[in-house]
Chain A
């Protein structure tokens, strides 16, 4: 049994809505091992996005503990968290979140610009990243000159360029048609086979079907956690 890469212990997140308190997360405990392909599913408001923000170091739990790679995120300073996001996490968003005026190459290089110390082979890393998503010939294109699927590939290349421990994808196919979605999920599957830990947040069962492990959320709690037998 491998050591867990991610370990969540009794996580809660409470939002105050006027007089009442709303639990976005209510005592979530979870372990994810290196190399897993996990889908977190649930309807909107189930707490899956809150969990993802916490795993990505963008949000802190009201109580409980998250450890990723042995580091306790709940007690990290803002500066440390920023560094953690840069080094350990690769984000993929539903709306791609590419900078519209920059080329694919520039977009992909973004995480490396914030890496300390500054890496000296940024261009080579970016090229490799674009190759991994099959867009080496689109490096000089701006997002507006690319299709939705291509844009999401650029975003995936950007998430991978810094060699993160975990790739966090929030509804990566939410803005794509079914055929393109398939291609993106197949790409993620391929990347997972190369050893990258991937966590996909989705509300679609078809998307979750690509993952090895499916964790279902409802009302801030885990209601099921299946690991698929290798087909």
Chain B
């Protein structure tokens, strides 16, 4: 019998029993849809996590002196950092940006138009990059500005809107605590993941040197001091390695003896984000397993109904054998039936899964991703189910004795 005839035979037998076919396929449809949905939720989550892990925030380390340390005979007071520390860290392999800054919160900023309260920072050129920010107008703080302790500032978009209205602020004077600076550039607000609360869009940057000399003041122990250091690693960099090298640099610079506790802290959100990613992964495996189980149950349903079908059609099988059907003809007839039902329900299930993933696109909590790999995987598993669970009933049919089969009531 030709494959096409066999397929036609299988198809007509499914059509002749529409309700049964529908109910049997339901199991596979739900199974495939579940596998598809679960896998794409898993994939969506994975991509979300990857995105998070490659974001500025998760690539960043912030280093602060340990303010909680008390001066004891064993330890020195916790000094601020030096500008040279930042330069050394910037040279570590895999570091995208390293920046040192000074900060004075709630500083009065004024122009001819008005005044406001904002954060005043002393920064180096890398500060822009490390915050994921861009210049909207003018220029960034330069190393020359730091060398010359130039009285220039870069202001935020928010400051421009508040204190300059529609004016072009570049080259105009601005007062920080009544000391006059010249506006050099305008920048965007930082990456929302990297700033910690507060009025993120209200800030003024000056070169570290001018900020120290004119507004914030020096440190009695450390020349050219800075308050904190922010380090951003490259995407996919070896973060533990970077952290280790930062430690080496800091310990040497701060003369901490081997084995002594550090007098600074390195903060990173990477640790909990990686743990988060791991638990997301576990959850998506769990979901996929649940999908697989429902597919398995669907497969058992197919096998069950195929066994019933073989029993019910015993006489037909006997007749076909008497008319000259080979064992292989009978086998392929029933196998084709199981396969056909699984392929068709697989396709419908895939459609249902895809529909679900389209609906979920609007949702914030569930991220589903369409991928041909996932589609192929869930469809392939339906096919596999058809072969595995169709085989036993088909073999039973092919092994019937035609004489007994013909007598079957």
Q: Is the interface of B mostly helix, strand, loop or mixed?
A: helix
Residue of A53, A79, A91, A101 touching B323 (CB-CB under 8 A): A91
Q: Is the CB of A79 within 8 A of B324?
A: no
Q: Is the CB of A82 within 8 A of B324?
A: yes
**8 A Cβ contacts from B275-333 to A:** 315-316, 318-327, 329
CB distance from B406 to the nearest CB of A (A): 7
Closest to B6 in A: A113
Q: Is the CB of B2 within 8 A of A114?
A: no
Q: Is the CB of B319 within 8 A of A97?
A: yes
Q: Is the CB of B2 within 8 A of A79?
A: no
Q: Is the CB of A118 within 8 A of B323?
A: no
B402 on interface, CB distance cutoff 8 Å: yes
Bound form: Cα–Cα A86–B325 in Å: 8
When distances are taken between beta carbons in the complex, the residues of chain A under 8 Å from B5 are 113, 118
CB distance from B399 to the nearest CB of A (A): 11
When distances are taken between beta carbons in the complex, the residues of chain B under 8 Å from A111 are 323-324
Q: List 23 A-B contacts (CB under 8 A).
A: A56-B322, A58-B402, A79-B326, A79-B327, A82-B321, A85-B321, A87-B324, A91-B322, A91-B323, A93-B406, A97-B315, A97-B319, A99-B319, A101-B16, A110-B319, A111-B324, A114-B1, A114-B320, A114-B323, A114-B325, A118-B2, A118-B5, A158-B323
When distances are taken between beta carbons in the complex, the residues of chain A under 8 Å from B315 are 97
Bound form: Cα–Cα A110–B333 in Å: 14
When distances are taken between beta carbons in the complex, the residues of chain A under 8 Å from B327 are 78-79, 82
A193 on interface, CB distance cutoff 8 Å: no
Binding site for B on A (CB under 8 A): 53, 56, 58-59, 78-79, 82-83, 85-87, 91, 93, 97, 99, 101, 110-111, 113-115, 118, 158, 162
Which of B5, B16, B322 has its CB near the most chain A CB atoms (within 10 A)?
Answer: B322
With A97-B406, A99-B316 as given contacts, are A58 and B324 in contact (CB-CB < 8 Å)?
A: no
Closest to B326 in A: A82
Bound form: Cα–Cα A53–B326 in Å: 17
When distances are taken between beta carbons in the complex, the residues of chain B under 8 Å from A99 are 316, 319
Residue of B16, B323, B406 touching A86 (CB-CB under 8 A): B323
When distances are taken between beta carbons in the complex, the residues of chain B under 8 Å from A53 are 403
CB distance from A50 to the nearest CB of B (A): 9
When distances are taken between beta carbons in the complex, the residues of chain A under 8 Å from B319 are 97, 99, 110
When distances are taken between beta carbons in the complex, the residues of chain A under 8 Å from B321 are 58, 82, 85
When distances are taken between beta carbons in the complex, the residues of chain A under 8 Å from B402 are 58
When distances are taken between beta carbons in the complex, the residues of chain B under 8 Å from A82 are 321, 324-327
With A97-B315, A99-B316 as given contacts, are A114 and B403 in contact (CB-CB < 8 Å)?
A: no
Q: Is the CB of B320 within 8 A of A110?
A: yes
Bound form: Cα–Cα A13–B325 in Å: 25
**Using an 8 Å CB-CB cutoff, how does the interface string of B81-92 with A read, 1 for contact, 0 for none?**
000000000000
CB distance from A181 to the nearest CB of B (A): 21
Bound form: Cα–Cα A82–B406 in Å: 15
When distances are taken between beta carbons in the complex, the residues of chain B under 8 Å from A93 are 406
